[in-house]
Amino acid sequence: MANIEELRNARLAKLENIKKAGIWPYPVWTKRTHTVSDAFLGWDELASQAKEIVIAGRMKSMRGHGGLSFVDVEDGTGKIQTFFKKDGLGEKSYQFFCDNFDIGDFVEVRGTLFVTKRGEKTVDVADYKMLSKSLLPLPEKWHGLQDVEERYRKRYLDLIFNDEVKQKLVVRTKIITAIRAFLDERGFMEVETPTLQTIYGGATAKPFKTHFNAYEMDVFLRIAPELFLKRLLVGGFEKVYEIGKCFRNEGVDKQHNPDFTMLEFYWSYACYKDLMKLTEEMFTEILEKVFGKQKLTYQGTEIDFTAPWPRIEYAELLKKYAKIDYWELNRDGLAAKAKELGVDVDKAAGKAEIADEIYKKYCRPNIIQPTFLIHYPTECKPLAKQLEQDSPILANFQLIVNGFEVVNAFSEQNDPIEQNNRFKEQEEMFKKGFEEAQRTDEDFIEALEYGMPPAAGFGMGIDRLVALLTDSNVLREIILFPIMKPRTEPKSVDLNSRKE
C-alpha cells in the first residue's frame, strides 16, 4: 500500500497535468446554479423539463466501469450521485477526468437530472470543471476513530466524515440564535466588553496572563464579562447581554475547557426570583424552537425540562448527601470533614470554597432533573447580594441539570461598601495562596459609588448547555476547534516544507 508521501506525489503529478492542459485548478469562480438540496426540492420540474443545472461540491466516492463512472458529489446541503460517461463527454474529456480527478477534489458539474434503474436520483453530466485539487487523500477509515484526540486535532476531517458531529454543531448555532432572539424580544441589548483586562474579575478562577507590548504592561484574558456589564447598568442601560469567549486557566474534563463561550445578561430592577421565571421561559422557548419538545435524553437518561422546576436550599442539600451542617462547622471543622470524605481542598481555601468542593463531589451528581439550587451562604459568591441586610444567605440560584451547573445567577451586589469588604476578604485569601480568589477592582468600586440600580445577573456556559441538549459526553465534542496539546513526534505531512 502506498504511503501518504507517494499518494501526495501522485496527486501533484495530476495537478501538473491539469495545469499543462491549460486549466486553472483553483479558479476564483463557479457557475453553480443549484445546491444539492435545491436540486432535490425542485426535482420534478427540473427533470421533466430536462433543464440543465450546475452543482458544485466535493467528490466523496467514485465507482467506474468501462466508459461509465458514478461519482457522489457533496456540498453543504447534501450529497447527490453524478454520472460521467464516455459517450456523453467524449473519449478525451472522459479519460482526462478519470486520469486526473480524485476523491476529495472539489468539482463543478453541469447536466440534467434523471433516475437510474435502481431508483437513485442522479445528474447526467454534460460537462465538468475542477474547482480545487486536493493534494492529500481523505482517510479511508475515520468514522468511529478510536483516537478521539485525532478527531479534535483534525476537525475538518471529522466534519467531512462524521455527520452526527456536524449536526451537533449546527444545533449549537440554532441554540445560540434562539437565545439571542429570546433576549432581543424582551428588550435586552447585545453589547461587547473587553477581552483583555488589567484586573480580572467576575468569577472565581485562575486567569491566563499575557503582555501588552504597546503599553508595556501585563494584562489578563477575561474570566467573565460581569464587572464591565454592570458598569453599563451604572451608565443607564437597563437590560444588556453578551455572548462571548471567556478564558480560565484550569484543567480539561467533560464539563470544563480553558476557553469557553459564556452568556451573561443583566437586568435592572429585577431580582433573582424574576430570573428563575425568565430562565424557565428561556429554556421552554429554546427547546420548542430547536427540538420541538421539552423532553430530551442525555447519556440514556430522560431529562424533562417542563417548567416549573423544583427549588432546593443549598445547605439542605449538603445535609442530605454529605451529612454536613454548614452552619454548625467553622472553616477548620469543615476542612477536617472534607478530609474524612476524601475531598481534596486548597490549603488557602475558605469555608465556602471547601463546602463547594464537597458539594461538587457528593451533592451535585445526584441532581438529574432541572433544579434550582438556591440561597448559598453569603461568603460563597462575593458579587452577590444577601437575601436581607446582614443575612447569612444570598439571593441567588444555580440551575443544575444531570450534574451539570448550567446557570449561575443572583441579585447583584450594588452596595459599594459591602462590595469592597467582600473584595478585601478575597484579597486575604489570595495572599494566603488561593490563586482563584477574586481581585479588587477599584474602578468597579468607584462605578458602584456613583450608584447602580438594583439588578439581577445571569451567567450560563453555552458549551455545557449545548453538550447537555445534544447528548454529548464532553464539551470538546461541541466546540469546533478545542485547544489540543501538540504531538511531540514529527508530523507525517508538512505542506509548507516541500518543493513541488
53-56-58-63 Cα dihedral, nearest 10 degrees: 20
Same domain as 232, residue 106: no
Q: How far is CA 79 from CA 52, 62, 282, 366, 399, in A?
A: 18, 13, 35, 44, 41
Same domain as 92, residue 19: yes
Condensed to tens digits (0 to 9), the pLDDT of residues 341-353 reads 999 988 888 899 9
H or E stretch at 119: none
Q: How would you classify residue 159: left for phi > 0, otherwise alpha for psi between -120 and 50, otherwise beta?
A: alpha
Query: Over 50: is that where the pLDDT of 447 sits?
Result: yes
What's the burial of 110, exposed, middle or buried (CB within 10 Å: 0-12/13-18/19+)? middle
Instruction: Tell whether 290 is covered by a domain.
Output: yes
Query: Quick one: average pLDDT of 70-85?
Result: 97
The CATH number that applies at residue 31 is 2.40.50.140
Q: What pLDDT sits at residue 26?
A: 98
Same domain as 201, residue 81: no
Q: How far is CA 482 from CA 20, 125, 161, 258, 417, in A?
A: 41, 40, 18, 9, 41
Q: What pLDDT sits at residue 203?
A: 87
Instruction: Tell whether 396 is covered by a domain.
Output: yes
Q: Which one of 112, 132, 152 terminates a domain?
A: 132
Instruction: Tell whether 343 is covered by a domain.
Output: no
Query: Over 80: is that where the pLDDT of 495 sits?
Result: no
Q: What pLDDT sits at residue 498?
A: 43
Instruction: Tell whether 62 is covered by a domain.
Output: yes
Q: How far is CA 110 from CA 52, 60, 131, 365, 424, in A?
A: 7, 17, 13, 57, 71
Instruction: Tell whether 472 is covered by a domain.
Output: yes
Q: How far is CA 103 from CA 59, 99, 452, in A?
A: 5, 12, 61
Condensed to tens digits (0 to 9), the pLDDT of residues 201-216 reads 988 889 999 999 999 9
Instruction: Tell whether 251 is covered by a domain.
Output: yes
Same domain as 287, residue 206: yes
Condensed to tens digits (0 to 9), the pLDDT of residues 25-64 reads 999 999 999 999 999 999 999 999 999 999 999 999 999 8
Query: Quick one: average pLDDT of 325-351?
Result: 92
Query: Quick one: average pLDDT of 393-398?
Result: 96
Same domain as 114, residue 230: no
The rounded mean pLDDT for the chain is: 93
pLDDT level of residue 144 (50, 70, 90 thresholds): low
274 vs 427 pLDDT, higher one: 274
Same domain as 95, residue 184: no
DSSP E strands in 337-413: the ranges are: 371-374, 396-401, 404-411
The CATH number that applies at residue 284 is 3.30.930.10
Phi, psi values for residue 215, rounded to 5°:
-100, 0
Same domain as 168, residue 96: no
Same domain as 266, residue 201: yes
Same domain as 254, residue 381: yes
Our count of domains for the chain comes to: 2
Instruction: Tell whether 227 is covered by a domain.
Output: yes
**Minimum mean pLDDT range among 191-200, 430-439, 467-476:** 430-439
Query: Over 60: is that where the pLDDT of 83 sits?
Result: yes
Query: Over 60: is that where the pLDDT of 219 sits?
Result: yes
141 vs 305 pLDDT, higher one: 305
Instruction: Tell whether 349 is covered by a domain.
Output: no
Query: Over 80: is that where the pLDDT of 145 sits?
Result: no
Rounded Cα distance between 397 and 485, Å, is: 36
Q: Which of 32, 150, 189, 261 is nearest to 486 (CA)?
A: 150
- Decide if 346 contacts 434 (C-beta within 8 A): yes
Same domain as 290, residue 164: yes
Q: What pLDDT sits at residue 484?
A: 87
Same domain as 402, residue 274: yes
Same domain as 265, residue 194: yes
Q: Where are the alpha helices (DSSP H) in 128-198?
A: 148-153, 155-161, 163-185
pTM over 0.95: no
Condensed to tens digits (0 to 9), the pLDDT of residues 245-304 reads 999 998 888 888 999 999 999 999 999 999 999 999 999 999 999 999 999 999 999 999
Condensed to tens digits (0 to 9), the pLDDT of residues 152-201 reads 888 999 899 888 999 999 999 999 999 999 999 999 999 999 999 999 99
Domain that residue 462 falls in: 160-310+369-478
C-alpha cell at 109: 458539474
Amino acid at 374: I
pLDDT level of residue 490 (50, 70, 90 thresholds): very low
Q: How far is CA 4 from CA 1, 97, 135, 492, 499, in A?
A: 10, 22, 10, 8, 16
pLDDT level of residue 434 (50, 70, 90 thresholds): confident
